Amino acid sequence: MFSFINFLQSILSKLKQNKGLWFTLLTVASVVGVLVSITLMNIMTSDVAKKTYLEVHRVDVTQLNNILDTRYDSLLSIGGVVAIHPDIIVNLKTKSDASINDLLDKAKKTINDRVHLDPIEINYYAKSYKATKSQNETYADLVMNTQTSITGIVVNSTGVRLIAITPITDANVTIGAIEISQSVVAVKNDFDRLGKEFAFILDKSQLVFMSLETKQGMTQDINEKYKIFFHNYNPQFFTNIRKINLDELQREKYSIDDNYYTTYDETVDIDGKTVGLFIIGEEAGSANSFVNITKNLIGSVTTVALGLVISLILFMF
């Protein structure tokens, strides 16, 4: 062991006597040290940035789920009030369809005009023994048979809607069901209040459930799989979505460019089928955007760390 140390000391002593070779070796070692340090710092800072962006994805998805839950609760509350209205119950028992529709139209107008919610639609369902039933009639039957309310997303003739179906009971007997619904576009207003962008893109396989009039609305293809009703959303954000590689977005959970940080969540309908994607975005171009703040912090840390490394190397001379 001592002989090995003596051997190293002997080599260093000879190198120091040859100052040109000594400084050449120090210079090479310094350059290598700086390059290795830069590589390691880039790896570490990239990992930190990725973890930050994934955490924002988690927060955005959590906010989305909270927004949906709040909207379902609101729709259920409205449905619960309508379902216990005495005139609704009386006319449903006597099968006075015209009277019920008139009452529901008045209720819808009152709610939309006075409560300042996003526009809602109200439908009712009576006990039915038809052999062939629509999708929503099937859901209403489930509610009436189980006396349990249900909520979820459906794709029907009028588009993609958030729905809540509540049983109508009389003397503990279920006699019908009330459906309260609103367009999925309403979720955009909640994200507007958070200072974020929102859009829904539809899986083209779901177009078969929409009426011809709905399908002929202002739509654009995102790619071969998805379509968007672009007039509902910010034109800049819509344009940016069309530039994103959606396969990569779904794989990485987020996408960043000069304009937006973009993330997503799958849109699952009331039956558990994926019918599209919720796209959420935040501006990346402004100085106060979290993307630029993250980049600046990482850049500052990298600069300071690199300065320390270079200082230590210079100190060796």
Cα 313 to Cα 25, 41, 305: the distances in Å are 12, 16, 13
CB proximity list for 254: less than 8 A, separation 6 or greater: 53, 54, 56, 57, 261, 262, 263
- From the number of C-beta atoms within 10 Å of its C-beta (0-12, 13-18, 19+), residue 275 rates as buried
Predicted confidence pLDDT, tens digits, the chain (317 residues): 556 555 555 655 655 555 555 566 556 655 665 555 556 555 555 566 788 888 889 999 999 999 999 999 999 999 999 999 898 888 888 888 888 889 899 888 888 887 666 889 999 998 876 656 788 888 999 999 999 999 999 999 889 999 999 999 998 889 999 999 999 999 999 999 999 999 999 999 999 999 888 877 778 899 999 999 988 899 999 999 999 999 999 999 999 888 898 999 999 999 999 999 999 998 876 545 555 555 555 555 555 555 555 555 555 55
Q: Where are the domains of the chain?
A: 72-183, 194-292
For domain 72-183, the question of CATH label 3.30.450.20 is answered with yes
Supply the DSSP string of 263-276, one letter for each residue.
EEEEEE-TTS-EEE
